[in-house]
Amino acid sequence: MLRKLGAVILSVLLLAGCAAPESGAGPGAGQPAGEEGEPPAATDSAPVPAVAPSVYDLVIKGGTLVDGTGAPGRRGDVAVVGDRIVAVGDLGPYTAGRIIDATGLVVAPGFINPHSHTHDDQLNPFIERDAKASLMQGITTEIGGVDGRSPVDVGAFLAQLAEEGTGVNFGLFIGQGSVRAHVMGWSPGPAGEAQLDEMKRLVREAMEQGAFGVSTGLEYQPGSFANQDELTALVAETAPYGGIYSTHMRSEGDRVVEAIEEALAIGERAGVAVNLSHLKIVHHRNWAKEDEVIARIEEARAAGLRVFADVYPYRAPDYAVNRPLSEWAGVLPPEYLLIVDGASADLHGLTVAQAADRLGVAPPAAAAELMARYPSVRVVALVSSESAMHRFYRADWSVISTDGEAQPKLETAAEAMRYAFHRRSYGTYPQIFGTLVREQGLLTLEQAVRKATGQVADELGLKSRGYLKAGQYADIVVFNPETIADRTTWLSPQEYPEGIAYVLVNGHVVVDEGEWKGGRHGRPIRRGE
C-alpha cells in the first residue's frame, strides 16, 4: 500500500515539475522538442502539456529479454511495481526508484524447480528457510512433497510457511508414502477398503488445500508396498482438481521400461498428467534401453496422455556419491568411477582407469590394486547414462529440476563430503547454462530458459509465474551468458556459482551484483496460482 501511495504522490510531484529519483532515457521525457532538438515553435494555441512519465519501483534496463516462451531473445526493459512486472519492452519515458543496468546480460523469469526437497524439515536437518543455495543459482520457486514424502496436512504446512517466512516461493505435492504411513503405518500388506477410503480422503483434502497432485517414491518404503490399483485409486482423486501424478518410479535401472509402463498406466487410468521424476537410466548394463524409454514416452504422448519428465544434469545420483570403491568394483567400468576421497592427494579427481594408468596397473585389476594400496578410497559412481540424459534434455517433454535442497553451506568442503552432499543443490542451473548451453551447444539459450521457466509453469498449471510479461509476479534472474558457471565439484559440492548478477523474488532484490542480500520474500503457493 505504501509503495502504491508513494507512486501516486511521485506522479503528482512530477506533473508539478518536481525532480524524479531516476529517469529513463526513453523518448518523450521532459518538454517536447522540435526537430533536431530545437525548441518547439511558438503558436497562438495553448501550450501542449508534457506527458508525465510512468513511475516504477524498479527497472531492469537494456538487457536481452529471454521471456520463457522459447522466442528469440530481444533487447528491452522490464518494469516492476510492488511484487509485479508491469511493463516489458520499450517503456517510453519513466522514472524509477532504482534502475539496474543489464547491458550484456540475459534477463529471464526466475527458475522454477519442479522437484525440490527444500523445506523437507522432517527428513533433513540441513534445510534452511532462507534458501540461499537455491536463490544464488537463480531459483525463485520450488515444488516439494516429492518422492512420496510430504506433510500430510498440506494446508497447515503452507500456513506455517507463510508465518515463518521462506526465501523461495514454495508449493507441495501430497506424498503417497506419507499418506500410507499415516493411515497404515509400515504395514506391507494391501490397503483394506476403510484404509483406502481414508487415504483417498486425505488426498482430496490436500488438493482442496492447494496441492499440485500426488507424488510417489516407489523405490522406498512404505510407498513401495502399494500395488497399481491402490496407486490409481489415490491418483484419481486428483483428477477433478487438475492434479498431476509425479513419480519416482519403482526402477530407474534393470526394470526402467516396466516402471515407465506402470506410471503411464496409472496416469491413463486415473485421467491425470504424469511427471516422471528425475528421469534417468542407471547402471551400464541398462544404458542401451534409452531408445525404448524415449519411444514409450512419445507413444503415450501421441496417444493423448500428457507426460513430461524433469531431469538434472549430473551422472551420479545421491546414492552414488562418496561411496567406498568396494561397493562399485565390478559393477561399472573403471572409467565411470571418479576418485574423490581417501586416496593420496594426487589421485583426487581421477577416474579409477586414470589412476590405474598412473600407478602402472592394468585396468581390470585397478580397483583391487587401489583398495589394497588405499583401503579407504572412496568414489563417485557415474552410473547414469550421459547419452540418455542429453537426449532427454533435447526432447520437448523435458524440464529442468535439481532433486536437491537449499542446504546451508558447511564450514569446509571436507565436512560437506562427510555428509555426501550432492552438487545439484548448488550448481544445477549454472551447469545447464554454462555447460549444456554455452560449451556443448546441446540446447539454445532460449530452449534452456523455457525448460527452466515457462514450460515448467505450464506443466504445473502456474498462472502467474514463469514468464516475463505484465501481470506476472516479479520473479526474475539476470545472468551473464558468457560467464555463468557451476563452480561445484564432487570434492567441493557446496560452491556458489558464477555469472548470476541479480535475482528478484516477488519484486525484492535478494541477489544484488552477485552478492547475497537475503530476506524471506518467497510465498507459499497453491495449484493454479
Structural domain contains residue 72: no
pLDDT at 408: 85
Q: What is the pLDDT of residues 270-283, one digit of tens each?
A: 999 999 999 999 99
Compute the distance between CA of residue 473 and CA of residue 86 in angstroms, rounded to an integer: 9
Least confident of 43-57, 450-464, 514-528: 43-57
Compute the distance between CA of residue 172 and CA of residue 96 in angstroms, rounded to an integer: 36
Listed residues 418, 433, 463: the one ending a domain: 463
Q: Are residues 369 and 423 in the same domain?
A: no
Q: What is the pLDDT of residues 86-136, one digit of tens each?
A: 999 999 999 999 999 999 999 999 999 999 998 765 555 557 789 999 999
Compute the distance between CA of residue 258 and CA of residue 179 in angstroms, rounded to an integer: 25
Assign 3-class secondary structure to 55-92.
Answer: EEEEEEEEEEECCCCCCCCEEEEEEEECCEEEEEECCC
Report which DSSP code applies to 353: H
Classify residue 529 by burial, with Cβ atoms within 10 Å: 0-12, 13-18, 19+: middle
For residue 429, report the phi and psi dihedrals to the nearest 5 degrees: -70, -40
Q: Are residues 341 and 454 in the same domain?
A: no
Q: Is the pLDDT of residue 44 over 80?
A: no
Q: Is the pLDDT of residue 439 over 70?
A: yes
Least confident of 119-128, 160-169, 233-242, 449-458: 119-128
Q: Are residues 338 and 410 in the same domain?
A: no
Least confident of 49-58, 150-159, 372-381: 49-58
Structural domain contains residue 309: yes
CATH number at residue 236: 3.20.20.140
Point out which residues pair with 276 in neighbouring strands: 247, 309
pLDDT at 256: 98
Q: Cβ(290)–Cβ(391) under 8 Å? A: yes
Q: Are residues 155 and 281 in the same domain?
A: yes
Element (H, E) at 456: helix 454-460
The range of the structural domain enclosing residue 358 comes to: 319-381
Q: Is the pLDDT of residue 7 over 90?
A: no
Q: Are residues 390 and 372 in the same domain?
A: no
Structural domain contains residue 400: yes
Compute the distance between CA of residue 380 and CA of residue 325 in angstroms, rounded to an integer: 9
Q: Are residues 205 and 300 in the same domain?
A: yes
For 62, the grid coordinates are: 537494456
Q: Are residues 231 and 286 in the same domain?
A: yes
Compute the distance between CA of residue 180 and CA of residue 199 in angstroms, rounded to an integer: 7
Q: What is the pLDDT of residues 292-340, one digit of tens each?
A: 999 999 999 999 999 999 999 999 999 999 999 999 988 899 999 999 8
Structural domain contains residue 450: yes
Structural domain contains residue 297: yes
pLDDT band, very low/low/confident/very high, at 506 (cuts 50, 70, 90):
very high
Query: Which residues does 173 contact at the CB level (< 8 Å), separation at least 6?
Result: 143, 144, 145, 146, 150, 211, 212, 213, 214, 215, 244, 246
Q: Are residues 265 and 155 in the same domain?
A: yes
pLDDT at 17: 37
For 5, the grid coordinates are: 501511495
pLDDT band, very low/low/confident/very high, at 49 (cuts 50, 70, 90):
low
Q: Are residues 370 and 398 in the same domain?
A: no
Q: Are residues 233 and 336 in the same domain?
A: no
Which among 376, 320, 322 is positioned nearest to 344, based on CA atoms?
376
Tell me the mean pLDDT in the region 405-423.
82
Structural domain contains residue 512: no
Query: Which residues does 346 contact at the CB level (< 8 Å), separation at least 6?
Result: 358
For 291, the grid coordinates are: 531408445
Tell me the mean pLDDT in the region 347-358.
91
Q: Cβ(399)–Cβ(309) under 8 Å? A: yes
Q: Are residues 204 and 170 in the same domain?
A: yes
pLDDT at 406: 86
pLDDT at 46: 52
Q: What is the pLDDT of residues 370-411, one digit of tens each?
A: 888 888 899 999 999 999 999 999 999 999 999 998 888 887
pLDDT at 35: 32
Q: Are residues 346 and 255 in the same domain?
A: no
Least confident of 70-74, 188-192, 217-221, 417-421: 417-421
Structural domain contains residue 492: no
Q: Is the pLDDT of residue 20 over 90?
A: no
Strands (E) in 204-298, as ranges, are 213-217, 244-248, 273-276
Q: What burial letters (b/e) apply to 489-517, b meaning 16+ CB within 10 Å? A: bbbbbbbbbebbbbbbbbbbbbbeebeee
Q: What is the pLDDT of residues 216-245, one digit of tens each?
A: 999 999 999 999 999 999 999 999 999 999
Q: What is the mean pLDDT of the chain?
A: 89
Structural domain contains residue 67: no
- How many structural domains does the chain have? 2
Report which DSSP code applies to 473: B
Q: Confirm whether pTM is higher than 0.85.
A: yes
